[in-house]
Structure 1
Amino acid sequence: MLRYLLVLSRPRFWLYLAGPVLVGVSYAADTVGELFAPAAVVLFAYFLLPANVYLYGVNDVFDRDVDETNPKKEGREARYQGGTAVAVVVAVCGLLLVPVAVPLPEQAWPYLAGWFLLATEYSAPPLRFKTTPLFDSLSNGLYILPGAAAYAAIAGSHPPLLAVAGGWLWAMGMHTFSAIPDIEPDREAGITTTATVLGKENAFAYCASTWLLSAGVFAFVDYRFGLLLLAYPVLVFGIRRLQVDVDRAYWWYPAVNTLVGALFTLGGLWGVVRA
């Protein structure tokens, strides 16, 4: 069961939640000591593993019928196996957010509450955002909320609104890009998403547009952020120009996102060192 839970948590995507924590901490900290504050360590640990077990566990529970025909569940991911023990572990991982949040400054609470709501209702009824076009994309701002919470926990104040907006737009594009390989399985299962409504070519255009907007918004925070985020629309153009199979390109993005996130974090760390 432990091996199954590890696969269920999508190790390739662990940094999609934990990485923003590192980014948020690096820009909130004024001293090297704050980088390793208890709040930073606890948030990173929670969003590295328990949060991923909860997020993807809820997803797999409510997608078990759809996933029967999804080729992505063969090899790199696992189909939901059911069982009371698995359900209990997933629920406990979600509830662990309470003791994580309680000691933190209250400025961090709205971001953590927002993450829990979106992480649950993305897949679970009654809202099940993933089956409502546009809302499936919008709700994936959940991936940048751990970073906002970490910033608030260390700085004691809310993160810059433009940084949150730029990150949200990036997450929207990332979600729809990841849904492109699922277009046919979702259509066969009767699932309607932004990608199934737009179709493959228009979905690529949607991703490029949201990523371009993200770069533009981040440029108002710092022009270097905007330049860095331009990598995403450029990649979309390259994928379409070179006719790269999206099922193959999809698996590049954990590495791409890790690299971009690392550069963001190094920028924050440089500010701490210089101070």
Structure 2
Amino acid sequence: MTYPALALLGAGIALVAGLVVWGLAAVRRTSPLASLGASRRHWVAVGITVLVLFVLTAIFDNVMITLELFHYAPELVSGVSIGVAPLEDFAYPLAAALLLPALWALLARGGAERQRAFSQLLLSSRPVSWINTAFPFGAAYLLTTREIDWVLVLGFLYFLIPYNLAMYGINDVFDYDSDLANPRKGGLEGALLAPRLHRVTLWTAALTNIPFLVLLALAGGPASWLALAVSVFAVIAYSAKGLRFKERPFLDSITSSTHFVSPAIVGLTLAGAEFTLPLVLILGAFFVWGMAAHAFGAIQDIGPDREAGIHSVATVIGARATARLALVLWLLAGVAMLLTPWPGPLAAIIVVPYLLNCAPWWNVTDETSGRTNVAWRRFIWLNFLSGALATLILITEWTPA
């Protein structure tokens, strides 16, 4: 699929959705004048939004392309550009400006009950963590191909939202009973999904994941099929009844880390990357980092997990040993990055904030394990800092001398 075709398809779907939802909303209004006024306000707001997003896209696209942070395969673009930014790039802000108001209007039309259901589904996908899976895929694919194409866009969107809805939504469904006793649930750190939404969540996860997986599979070959299969299996196996890898100590941390490393491997296999020793070291460091993150996060749930009869790495070896294990794993991740070619060693500094965040809990006890939630909340925001540092390092590697 060419870039213009993908852009036209996305913008077309957004336009049709926007017109349909706007039309349904207009039909509900009894007064023609009220309908006309609301329509005018709606499209004026959409127009202003499109204009602002177009200006920002034109500025930053031109800056990034001029700096040679990425480029487009000539045979896959239309050749029409604004500055050096291909015209197709402007389909994304257009689609966003059309789709988001349409989604808002659709929810408003459905009443308070539908809005609550949607907000719960959204919360269940952990929006604050979306970038943690999309970034590895995008970085791995883009660094390998050095091009933006439809596979990059499709994969990034998949690992941004549908993948997270499946990963966390399935977890919230099968963990409902234990989540009732967990004070962390019901906010930033996860939804407390009402039983009436369990079937809806599972169906929504399936229907939003399958089309993306089929298209990504068609774009790749056996290596990417295997990577996708492992990724999806890890998502399901971690929480689903009958598998419940989250209740198998140490395997729980391995599976959780797979959730975040596998998108990068999918990106690499789709891009046809060669798995050299330096690349394996980077992936290994990332994997060890992921295991440390899961282990440290499990400490705060020792109390609720034991009450619910859930076994985890933290409930088995205790809070103190788990905190020390996390510290060692993060340290190993940093050492592994020191062994990679330049500018890889710069990434070793990324583990420092995590070590500083975890170190004060060196002597944490099972009785005080719940207090580590403060550090876990800090950990969530540290990921954004890590992403920023990783991006700067990638730019350093990418930009010609």
Q: Structure 1 residues 23, 229: CA separation in 2 closer, same or farther (over 3 Å shift)?
A: farther
Q: Does 1:211 align with 2:323?
A: no
1:146 to 260, 263, 270: 263
Q: Structure 1 residues 269, 108: CA separation in 2 closer, same or farther (over 3 Å shift)?
A: farther
2:129 corresponds to: 13
2:151 to 39, 62, 67: 39
Q: Is the 8 A contact 2:170 2:201 kept in 1?
A: no
TM-fit CA distance, 1:26 = 4.5
2:21 corresponds to: none
2:171 corresponds to: 59
Report matched runs for 1:16-165 at 5 Å: 16-30=132-146, 34=147, 36-76=148-188, 77-83=190-196, 84-106=199-221, 107-142=223-258, 143-158=260-275, 160-165=279-284
Give the whole-Å Cα distance in 1 for the aligned partners of 2:332 and 2:219: 32
Q: Is the 8 A contact 2:320 2:363 kept in 1?
A: no
Letter matched to residue 386 of structure 2? V
2:389 to 263, 266, 272: 263
Q: Does 1:168 align with 2:283?
A: no
Q: Structure 1 residues 130, 211: CA separation in 2 closer, same or farther (over 3 Å shift)?
A: same
TM-fit CA distance, 1:74 = 3.3
Give the whole-Å Cα distance in 1 for the aligned partners of 2:396 and 2:224: 24
Q: Does 1:179 align with 2:293?
A: no
Give the whole-Å Cα distance in 2 for the aligned partners of 1:125 and 1:229: 34
Give the whole-Å Cα distance in 1 for the aligned partners of 2:201 and 2:351: 38
Give the whole-Å Cα distance in 2 for the aligned partners of 1:40 and 1:166: 24
Q: Is the 8 A contact 1:40 1:154 kept in 2?
A: no
**Which 5+ residue runs of structure 2 have no aligned equivalent?**
1-116
Q: Does 1:251 align with 2:370?
A: no
Percent of pairs with identical residues:
29
Give the whole-Å Cα distance in 2 for the aligned partners of 1:261 and 1:15: 9
Q: What are the superposed Cα offsets for residues 202-253 of structure 1, whole Å, 9 maximum, x if unpaired? A: 1110110111111122222232222332432233114559999411111112
- Please give the root-mean-square deviation of Cα atoms over the aligned residues, in Å: 2.3
Letter matched to residue 154 of structure 2? V
Query: 2:399 is paired with a residue of what secondary structure?
Result: helix
Letter matched to residue 391 of structure 2? T
TM-fit CA distance, 1:155 = 4.5
Point out which structure has higher relative CO (alpha carbons under 8 A, 6+ apart): 1
1:228 to 350, 355, 377: 350
User: Which protein has the larger Cα radius of gyration, Structure 1 or Structure 2?
Assistant: 2
Give the whole-Å Cα distance in 1 for the aligned partners of 2:200 and 2:310: 28
Structure 1 runs (4+) deviating above 6 angstroms are 241-244
Give the whole-Å Cα distance in 2 for the aligned partners of 1:98 and 1:252: 33
Q: Is the 8 A contact 2:125 2:161 kept in 1?
A: yes
Aligned length: 271
Give the whole-Å Cα distance in 2 for the aligned partners of 1:187 and 1:73: 16
**Which 5+ residue runs of structure 1 have no aligned equivalent?**
none
Q: Is the 8 A contact 1:24 1:148 kept in 2?
A: yes
Q: Which moved more, 1:113-122 or 1:95-104?
A: 95-104
